[in-house]
Structure 1
């Protein structure tokens, strides 16, 4: 019958093997998540490389603002003048405290910010943060392959979350286990 020290050594070897195999098999995914996570953390401090800043409009009083259909037309017009292309509006981000609106187009990398009062373009730019986020959370696979209900995204994030828990526990044990055995 193995003694206590031999059992601890055997458990430590199994822990090391699990840690190593998990790390080898998920290395690329952890690297991608880390790089995209850093980029997303810097998105508002990237000198508008990753995402355009949010600009202030003339008035925060919504009674002074132009109608939504007028602003939508002006945003589409500003996009055409700046980029030479037309695209459907995907969503509108209203910033009441700034008196501005962001119009995000089907080509999700394009954004037009308008002063909600005058309709003047405050910014026309590219939003790289949307595709970076899609790579980070795995939804790019769902979108590219047409996987319904974000199934890949849920699977990918579950695997990565469980792997991170395994790395934390096994990493701690690889640090603590030898110290415990020396006692």
Structure 2
């Protein structure tokens, strides 16, 4: 009696899975680039929004005060008084600056009934108008005197000086008694950097989507 031994059949090696089946397709370079551009836009949008929210008051004061300063010479004496005209433009007939200064100080002290200490902050000589302007501190009062006679031609409240100090932040230095202009330096630096960031992010929020749409058409 003969016995036949059947040999076990060898298993075939497993075929590699098709790339179209369970494997995950790698992202295309275009898709990766668009995602990066979208992330950049989101970051710029956040910076733009938070900068505007945090510095709203700074931008508001700069905008309003800048607008008023632009209109100061066209405000009908409301912001900046017009320069009056003196009796002569011949400097040889003018009083000396020390005499004019004494006249201005005496008028400011007596006629305006000024209380407390004050001093002349600035003298603005206008030979073409025959006038010398005096600005006093503290406060924002000023006088215009005829250069030849020393007569007071106009008493003004210099609102433009107040607005200028509000515009550049030096008003806070004045209130705090800071002679080195520390707050003005901080304020103008902060506003300048913030406006630069606003400009860059605002431009990219406009240009970024255009760039993405242009790349998608290719």
The normalised TM-score by structure 2 is 0.78
Partner of 1:41: 70
Q: Mean Cα displacement is larger for which, 78-87 or 144-153?
A: 78-87
**Aligned-partner Cα distance in 1 for 2:193–2:210:** 26
1:114-156 deviations in whole A, cap 9, x for unaligned? Answer: 1101112211111011111111101112222233411111111
More relative contact order, 1 or 2 (CA 8 Å, 6+ apart) = 1
Between the aligned partners of 1:135 and 1:176, the Cα distance in structure 2 is 35
Which residue pairs with 1:175 in the alignment? Answer: 206
Contact 1:66 1:116 in 2 (8 A): yes
Deviation at 1:88, TM superposition (A): 2.5
Mapped pair 1:149 → 2:152: no
Q: What are the superposed Cα offsets for residues 30-62 of structure 1, whole Å, 9 maximum, x if unpaired?
A: 001111111111111111111211112122121
Give the 3-state SS of the residue equivalent to 2:165 in structure 1: helix
CA distance in 1, matches of 2:61, 2:108: 32
Aligned to 1:100: 131
**TM-score normalized with structure 1 length:** 0.93
> Which protein is bigger by CA-based radius of gyration?
2
* Counterpart check, 1:3 vs 2:32: yes
Structure 2's unaligned 5+ residue stretches are 1-26
